[in-house]
Structure 1
């Protein structure tokens, strides 16, 4: 399979990130799958990065091949300027040791935000101290490097909790400098999700579009129509799709999402891998 070309990668991507600086706007880059990097006032927050081929290697000799579709945009060891990194849940494309271990090693003061329910699993996978990650639960808020982060439940495929009632799958609302961004992690549209999100009036909602198809034998997500409808329901000023074009067996055509957004009158942007978007978009 010919890999989908990145908009920019390696040195070009690194230069774009490090050279951006603004006191009045922020910029976001899509790094593939559900991974985004946000830069605001020289502070960088990394959401659910997957920057390796660990899943392709893991499933190479199985019936569940994870054939990569898109180019890898950056060696995670080069991301030595990260202030906050998140993992929304324990699936490897959101909690990848090959991605996170060099990032944690090369950023000595980094804040690592996870669901509290996953603490032991996370510490074992990335080989960090048990008390190192900052644990979250739904409704909980923390301050991290100038970002206010609020935890929300996600359904993948259900809103799953441990014996303490703590969420195993989460989304995060980020508030900074008068802006609000929602990163869903992996989720379906469960009862009450729009009521939780609507008061935040997000400037950007990062929503998955790969859908929920049992024949894939993996947990599912919003499909393109649901992502557009959810963006509309919560009053998001902009919806950016994710969780597609990484693995051939579990993807979706973003043009279907674009059509649904036009149908429901939802403002959207489809980023190419490695592409950055400054928000608000300069006139």
Structure 2
């Protein structure tokens, strides 16, 4: 029995369409794993969507089966009016052709933001033209309409760079209006991380909590305690956990994170699949 979504497919999309375009508020939906949909003034940004069963199919007959434990939140064919979509790195749950190809096809004005180091890999996997994605490195930014995205390093498990010194794993801080959201991608805590992030004055930090267990055979992430501590250290107004409740072998109980956040006094919100947070002035 798969964990049900709070809202999914047409119901979720109806909720997106019904939300106010009030300039003093924005909405953020969790799409599962590390995927989020941000809406502000009717403009929409997707972070790292994974909305298929491609990994479950790929690993079905291997020693590392990716057994899904939750419902898919939304058919990517339903996603319309998307201004920006990101991929933080090349792992399929953050760069999925079965998810991205219909999104790119159905949103002709979309901008695709990636780590510059991954350009050729992204082009080959998604099937787009080489100059289509906008590539960033850490310390770089790009402005797309009313949104500015800043590239920050991620360690999954290392701060890995290509031969040109460009990050293969990244997070993004997105600034719009008076708000800033940090989407971590996949990352461990690395030296200097707080110094990189604290100056942004992040309102919401979207952080993984599934931890780093070498027995899983995959690269690791922050655990619940580290996510709570990192949010506190960078002064995030809210932490929203992600990267759990998708695959049986690589998940975590968000209540552990909740306990650690309470201990350190870090405000948080745990979203149900397909649920949203609305924040405003």
Q: TM-score range by the shorter chain?
A: over 0.9
Gaps of 5+ in 2: none
- Does the 8 Å CA contact 1:38/1:46 hold for their aligned counterparts? yes
Counterpart of 2:17?
18
* CA-CA distance at 1:128 after TM superposition: 0.3
Counterpart of 1:73?
73
Gaps of 5+ in 1: none
After superposition, give the CA deviation of every residue in 1:1-45 in whole Å (9 maximum; x if it has no partner): x11111101111001111212211000000000000000011100
| 1:27-106 alignment runs, 5 A limit | 27-106=27-106
After TM superposition, the score normalised by the length of structure 2 is 0.99
After TM superposition, the score normalised by the length of structure 1 is 0.98
| 1:216-255 alignment runs, 5 A limit | 216-255=216-255
- Does the 8 Å CA contact 1:153/1:167 hold for their aligned counterparts? yes
After superposition, give the CA deviation of every residue in 1:87-126 in whole Å (9 maximum; x if it has no partner): 0000000000000000000100100000000000000000
Q: Distance in 1 between matches of 2:17 and 2:139?
A: 33
- Does the 8 Å CA contact 1:43/1:145 hold for their aligned counterparts? no
The answer to whether the aligner puts 1:189 opposite 2:195 as a matched pair is: no
Question: SS at the partner of 1:46?
Answer: strand
Q: Distance in 1 between matches of 2:2 and 2:263?
A: 30
- Does the 8 Å CA contact 1:88/1:115 hold for their aligned counterparts? yes
What is the total number of aligned residue pairs between the two structures?
A: 280
Counterpart of 1:267?
267
Counterpart of 2:172?
172
Q: Distance in 1 between matches of 2:16 and 2:193?
A: 32
Aligned-pair Cα RMSD in Å: 0.7
After superposition, give the CA deviation of every residue in 1:48-81 in whole Å (9 maximum; x if it has no partner): 0000000000000001010001111111011121
| 1:99-248 alignment runs, 5 A limit | 99-248=99-248
- Does the 8 Å CA contact 1:172/1:184 hold for their aligned counterparts? yes
Q: Distance in 2 between matches of 1:119 and 1:18?
A: 33
* CA-CA distance at 1:145 after TM superposition: 2.5
